[in-house]
């Protein structure tokens, strides 16, 4: 770990500031876009199963809604901070803008650990969270979704509470719902698939045959699971995956030179993405330290876990063979690591483009829920592929034209679109 404590919001603002200078943004629009429009901080008191009471801290941050209702997930995590939520909300604004969907950026969270909570206690937290912000969110204001350690069942509890309070049926209030309850086909695999759509296009640009490449993945939650699956369908070989072990409170890398099998690993993975290391060993996987994923002799690295994972400390360990990094997670690469990656000429697909498949399909779900008309899987994935491919090509073309880093090019497109929306509304 780097010595200075990591602050995701400071990193997000520094990324913004660097591109704002290149775009020549005025002081008013800079101030407006580098900070959230509004924030909600609140407490969620819960009666626990043993009869005691516990108070959880919750947040909802709405960064910018000039282009449309705020959109962003709710994560349950014991180490959640408001600065992390602020950063994620800001990145959501750029994410929606770079793939050109009419939404703004928001994010929410609760400081809690679902591993240590019963289903009833989690339901109570979900309903309590909604009660605190019910007047400030909704289909035309701010549309939540799942994020780290939340899933479709949490969304249904939240939807049910919102509808009780509002006195009606509002399926477009929240996305990530189960299919059959207003959810969209394709939503589960959308983020991971979107990652691989951009990887596919990047490899074409780099002149690489994806079927002859190898990759290392960090994370084995929803994003990585589906990204690995599609990468294998394209013919690539995923040699390892790293993930957190809840029992040992540490991370491990599971490696097999001939290629990992995501379906096989899913059979020994809990609902939070932790792989049983003893069973993995019996299946022929090497069990290595968690950091080992970044040192692998591969063509592609896919950080798909949490923020602050590729740092100034471990970025120098990236193997010389690596040609491409696809940021499946939000904010996985620090400013210091970015300088190293840029200096080495590694092609990078920035997070708010690379993992935009999730919010894009969430937008599709929102449209379907609001119109009460649902699409088939082929239509969803086709539309998703089109949006992700179009977004990638626009960023890549600008990067070449301006001779700038891919992350800067993505920011230029996103920030320009949001700044123009603010100008047209007369805000700045």
DSSP state of 269: B
How far, in Å, are 86, 191, 234 from residue 358 at the CA level?
Answer: 19, 4, 20
| Of the candidates 359, 347, 356, the residue with the CA atom closest to the CA atom of residue 407 | 347
409 alpha-carbon distance from chain centroid: 19
How far, in Å, are 63, 146, 177, 299, 388 from residue 341 at the CA level?
Answer: 29, 31, 37, 14, 23
107 has catalytic annotation: yes
Check 95, 107, 177, 387 and give the catalytic one.
107
Report how far residue 98's alpha carbon sits from residue 105's, in angstroms, rounded to the nearest whole number: 12
Report how far residue 143's alpha carbon sits from residue 136's, in angstroms, rounded to the nearest whole number: 10
Rg (CA), the chain: 21
Provide the total of helices (H) and of strands (E) in the chain, helices listed first: 14, 12
Q: Which residues, other chains included, contact 373 with Cβ-Cβ below 8 Å and sequence gap of 6+?
A: none
State the catalytic residues: 107
């Amino acid at each position: 770990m780097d010595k200075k404590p990591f602050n995701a919001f400071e990193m997000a603002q520094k990324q913004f500031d660097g591109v704002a200078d290149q775009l020549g943004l005025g002081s008013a629009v800079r101030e407006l876009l580098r900070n959230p429009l509004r924030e909600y901080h609140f407490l969620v008191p819960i009666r626990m199963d043993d009869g005691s009471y516990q108070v959880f801290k919750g947040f909802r941050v709405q960064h910018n809604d000039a282009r449309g209702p705020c959109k962003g997930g709710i994560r349950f995590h014991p180490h959640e901070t408001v600065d992390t939520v602020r950063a994620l909300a800001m990145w959501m604004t750029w994410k929606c803008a770079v793939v050109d969907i009419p939404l703004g950026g928001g994010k929410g969270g609760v400081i809690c650990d679902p591993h240590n909570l019963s289903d009833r206690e989690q339901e109570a937290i979900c309903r309590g969270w909604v009660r605190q912000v019910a007047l400030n969110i909704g289909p035309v204001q701010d549309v939540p979704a799942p994020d780290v350690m939340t899933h479709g069942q949490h969304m249904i509890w939240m939807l049910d509470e919102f509808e009780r309070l509002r006195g009606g049926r509002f399926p477009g209030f929240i996305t990530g719902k189960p299919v059959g309850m207003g959810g969209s086909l394709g939503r589960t695999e959308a983020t991971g698939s979107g990652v691989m759509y951009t990887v596919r296009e990047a490899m074409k640009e780099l002149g690489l045959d994806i079927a002859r490449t190898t990759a290392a993945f960090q994370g084995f939650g929803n994003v990585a699971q589906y990204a690995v699956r599609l990468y294998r369908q394209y013919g690539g070989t995923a040699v390892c995956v790293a993930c957190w072990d809840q029992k040992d409170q540490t991370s491990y890398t599971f490696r097999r030179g001939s290629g990992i099998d995501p379906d096989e690993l899913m059979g020994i993975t809990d609902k939070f993405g932790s792989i049983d290391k003893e069973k993995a060993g019996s299946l022929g996987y090497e069990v290595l330290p968690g950091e080992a994923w970044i040192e692998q002799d591969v063509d592609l690295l896919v950080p798909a876990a949490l923020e602050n994972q590729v740092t100034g400390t471990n970025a120098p360990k990236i193997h010389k063979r690596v040609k491409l990094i696809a940021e499946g997670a939000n904010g996985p690469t620090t400013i210091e690591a970015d300088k190293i990656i840029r200096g080495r000429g590694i092609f990078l697909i920035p997070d708010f483009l690379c993992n935009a498949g999730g919010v894009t399909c969430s937008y599709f779900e929102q449209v379907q829920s609001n119109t009460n008309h649902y699409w088939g899987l082929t239509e969803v994935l086709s539309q998703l592929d089109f949006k992700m491919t179009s977004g990638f090509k626009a960023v890549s073309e600008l990067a070449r034209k301006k001779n700038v880093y891919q992350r800067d090019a993505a920011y230029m497109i996103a920030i320009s679109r949001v700044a123009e929306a603010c100008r047209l509304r007369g805000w700045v």
